[in-house]
Amino acid sequence: MSPSGSPLLVLGIEASCDETAAAVVRRHPDGRGEILSNVVRSQWEQHRPFGGVVPEIAARAHVECLDEIVADAMREAGATFADLSAVAATAGPGLAGGLIVGLVTGKTLALANDLPFVAVNHLEAHALTVGLTESVRPPYLLLLVSGGHSQILLVEDIGRYRRIGTTVDDALGEAFDKTAKLLGLPQPGGPAVERAALAGDATRFSLPRPMIGRDNANFSFAGLKTAVRHRAMTQVPLDARDVSDLCAAFQQAVTETVADRVRQGMSMVESDLARAAERILVVAGGVAANNAIRSMLDGLTAQAGWRLCLPPIRLCTDNAAMVAWAGAERFALGHTDPLDGPARPRWPLDSAAAPALGSGRLGAKA
Check binding of 366 to Zn ion (CB under 5 A).
yes
Check binding of 177 to Zn ion (CB under 5 A).
no
Check binding of 194 to ligand KG4 (CB under 6 A).
yes
Least distance between Zn ion and beta carbon 42 (Å):
13
Taking the least distance from each CB to Zn ion, the nearer of 196 and 310 is 310
The size of the interface with ligand KG4 (CB under 6 A), counted in residues, is 21
What does the alpha-carbon distance between residue 304 and residue 288 come to, in Å, rounded to a whole number?
20
What does the alpha-carbon distance between residue 136 and residue 315 come to, in Å, rounded to a whole number?
15
Stretch near ligand KG4 under the rule CB under 6 A, chosen from 5-13, 172-180, 265-273, 329-337:
172-180
Per-residue binding string, ligand KG4, 298-327, x by CB under 6 A, is -------------------xx---------
- Of 169, 245, 318, 329, which one interacts with Zn ion (CB under 5 A)? 318
Nearest by Cα to 95 from 361, 317, 336? 361
Least distance between Zn ion and beta carbon 319 (Å):
9
| Residue-by-residue DSSP string for 299-355 | HHHHHHTPEEE---HHHHSS-SHHHHHHHHHHHHTT----TTPPP-SS--SSTTSPP
Stretch near ligand KG4 under the rule CB under 6 A, chosen from 112-120, 160-168, 215-223, 282-290:
282-290
Strand extents, DSSP E, the chain: 8-14, 19-27, 33-42, 86-92, 117-121, 140-145, 150-157, 160-166, 280-284, 307-309
Per-residue binding string, ligand KG4, 17-46, x by CB under 6 A, is x-----------------------------
Q: Which residues contact 284 (CB under 8 A, 6 or more apart)?
A: 126, 127, 129, 130, 142, 143, 144, 145, 146, 311, 316
Check binding of 260 to Zn ion (CB under 5 A).
no
What does the alpha-carbon distance between residue 249 and residue 229 come to, in Å, rounded to a whole number?
12
| Residue-by-residue DSSP string for 176-196 | HHHHHHHTTPPSSHHHHHHHH
What does the alpha-carbon distance between residue 230 and residue 197 come to, in Å, rounded to a whole number?
18
Per-residue binding string, Zn ion, 123-162, x by CB under 5 A, is -----------------------x----------------
Check binding of 121 to ligand KG4 (CB under 6 A).
no
- Of 43, 146, 220, 252, which one interacts with ligand KG4 (CB under 6 A)? 146
**List of residues contacting Zn ion (CB under 5 A):** 146, 318, 366
**List of residues contacting ligand KG4 (CB under 6 A):** 17, 146-148, 173, 176-177, 188-191, 194, 285-287, 289-290, 317-318, 365-366
